[in-house]
Structure 1
Amino acid sequence: MQNIPHSEKELLRLLADGDEYAFQVIFERHWDAVFSTALLLTKSATIAEDVAQDVFAMIWEKRATLAGVDSLDGFLFISARNMIYSRFRKLASQDAYRKYILSCFREDGAERVDDAAELRELDRTIQQAIRRLPPQQQKAFRLSRYEGMRHEEIAVTMGVSRITIKSYIVQAIASLRKALANHPSGAHLLVWAVFLFHS
């Protein structure tokens, strides 16, 4: 086991250098606080779980910029609050988004040829991105998204803690977001929302 830095600044410096263990330490130390904050603000355990997951995915994605953060607690609180506000703003357009997705399919249920081709190409891109994940992240992600296993079940299967599984999946999501960010498919948001980012 690696030595755990006592200094938050040192943890953030290691994180900025891409140290996955530093990320896991931060994740384990702060997950409960971020989740509790989101739960307090949203009154929904499901939304709070999603928001906390998004916060830590953002932390991993933007790790190179975090060495200068003075207060990690404050940074995480503000990040969670801003994500919640953004989520609530988007709820107003949710019905319009669902109608857009439905418009991608004919009334008889047959996909339009162009949309089907885009979805196949997107699936190939997703599979390639998953195969590039580190082995433990890849296994945790596949057990979650393909086998439908809960975090507790994956933890038992892989012989690690539930919080470690959450950490693996958050890092996998961050990596996949980056890999898919510039994908040209107009349907990618649907796949992200339903497949990749649903807890």
Structure 2
Amino acid sequence: MTIMRNVMLLFTVTMLFVSDTSAQLSENGDCPDYVASSLFTPLVMLDLINVGEMKLAMSLGSSVDRTHSCQALTFVDGKNYRYTYNDRNGAKRAINGSYQASFPSFISTSHLKLVGGYRNVMGADSSGTSRLVPLAYSPGIIIFVSCSETLWFHNQQFYLLVDSKILLRPEDLDEIEKTLKSVGIIPASLTLDRPDQSCREPDPDVEQEA
């Protein structure tokens, strides 16, 4: 299955399982109750572990996220993760922490809890904890949304992660952003950030899809 077929399948699933609350940067009131994808299962988590490094292809992140480049998230095993990025000065940084995966049940929605991060990096709060809700998934691609509350406002962040072995062309990203807006995941007035991933060179031993 090609990357764009994965993308179209992903957003078909998204239309079925995402809530009617769009991911935005800032709104009044408390964080909304998200309806996570019911397809997020232990087998999906195992697939994410087996994929290895997943690069941040597009986001509606915090002001701190926007100063970083070459971001990537790796689920090392069943309980540990590694998040790497280049800071605003170009220095390579890494966050090593633990995570807990919660799967759909009658009393709670699915989410990933990342512990040991830095505030405002990948949706982390002041304690360095991120709660990422999976909105949709397809092999090699996953969409998360996080939300943090400050006084009378809440801030939502949106993260699209893709298998680092997949090369996305600018026109592929254009199509993804267009689809995200057409199904109401993000407001049409917003423009997604496209983090600089130029630090990643294609692996000559991996056949890249056109």
Fold match by TM threshold 0.5 = no
Bigger share in strand? 2
Higher relative contact order (CA 8 A, sep 6+): 2
Which one has the largest radius of gyration? 1
Bigger share in helix? 1
Name the TM tier (shorter chain). Answer: under 0.3
